[in-house]
Amino acid sequence: MTIETIGVIGAGQMGSGIAHVLAIAGYEISLMDVDADRLAAAVAKIGKDMDRQVMRAVITEEGRALALARIRTTMKLPELGESDLVIEAATEKEAVKQKIFDDLAEHLRPETILTTNTSSLSITRLAGGTSRPEQFMGLHFMNPVPVMQLIELIRGIATSKETFEAVRGVVDRLGKTAVVSEDYPGFIVNRILIPMINEAIYALYEGVGSVIDIDRSMKLGANHPMGPLELADFIGLDTCLAIMNVLHDGLADTKYRPCPLLVKYVEAGWLGRKVTRGFYDYRGDTPVPSR
């Protein structure tokens, strides 16, 4: 199957980034969200991010103009049914994702492939809730999408070879690198990354080190570009907690128990950079530990 038209559901940080890289690769994009302001903000952000790429000579001015012209926005989910491929990039809540696929079902062309950008949820279970599990799989982009080179490909138990190869072809056209993960909680990246972040939060919770010293230790001692607590703020503490809960519930192992301090921060609404406070307070000129 040749894929040329792609619908992206969700105009948040992930959805806008996905639309960005797909448009540069020459795909015709329909970016859908229920919030008109979020759609407008997404298009503005894509334009600014492309401006930076022009300045760095990653793309040309002409390439920027052509890519932006390939992105149309809509608040009407049924309009995505005509796409060759649909990428769901809504919030990391299974009920929300399942409802989106339910609402879209009657509008889909027979050959349309469905994918989800979930970072941890069962592909097989999501696929089983649709009428086309053979044409369903996981397509997990990393954040920030225009910068990160990796994409995880996850088959559900029913995903067909034809579906997998068609979606892998999209990754190749983007110039990114695919890794193939089995359909287990967290897949590869988050199965390893989020428990490491959770352990860093335990180290803070137990008084092993301060926010600054924990992050400095991993940056200078393990050559990580970002400390684990800083990274948690970047990802979003609510997302980190959701993934830890998926790991804990799905694997039934106490080593995946979310740290109580992570739970408290989420309960407080201290979710990280997106709300200006998490393990760091971002309201001043320089981030400082929030407590």
For 169-172, the CB contacts below 8 A with 24+ separation are 169/3, 170/3, 170/6, 170/22, 170/27, 170/85, 170/139, 171/139
| Contact of 66 with 47, CB cutoff 8 Å | no
The set of residues, in sequence order, having a beta carbon less than 8 Å from that of 117 and lying 6+ positions away, is 14, 15, 18, 87, 88, 89, 138, 139, 140, 141
Of 16, 30, 92, 140, the catalytic one is 140
Of 88, 94, 152, 230, the catalytic one is 152
Question: Is 119 one of the catalytic residues?
Answer: yes
In whole angstroms, what is the distance from residue 31 CA to residue 29 CA?
6
Q: Please identify which residue in the block is written with the tokens 């097989």.
A: 124
Of 16, 83, 117, 119, the catalytic one is 119
Which backbone phi and psi does 117 adopt, to 5 degrees? -90, 20
The set of residues, in sequence order, having a beta carbon less than 8 Å from that of 233 and lying 6+ positions away, is 272, 273, 278, 279, 280, 282
In whole angstroms, what is the distance from residue 156 CA to residue 127 CA?
7
Question: Is 152 one of the catalytic residues?
Answer: yes
Of 117, 190, 198, 248, the catalytic one is 190
DSSP letter at 110 equals T
Question: Is 181 one of the catalytic residues?
Answer: no
| Contact of 179 with 153, CB cutoff 8 Å | yes
Q: What share of the chain is helix, strand, coil (3-state, %, to 5)?
A: 50, 15, 35
Give the angle subtended at the CA of 172 by the CAs of 183 and 166, to the nearest 5°. 60
Q: Please identify which residue in the block is written with the tokens 């800083």.
A: 230
Catalytically active residues are 119, 140, 152, 190
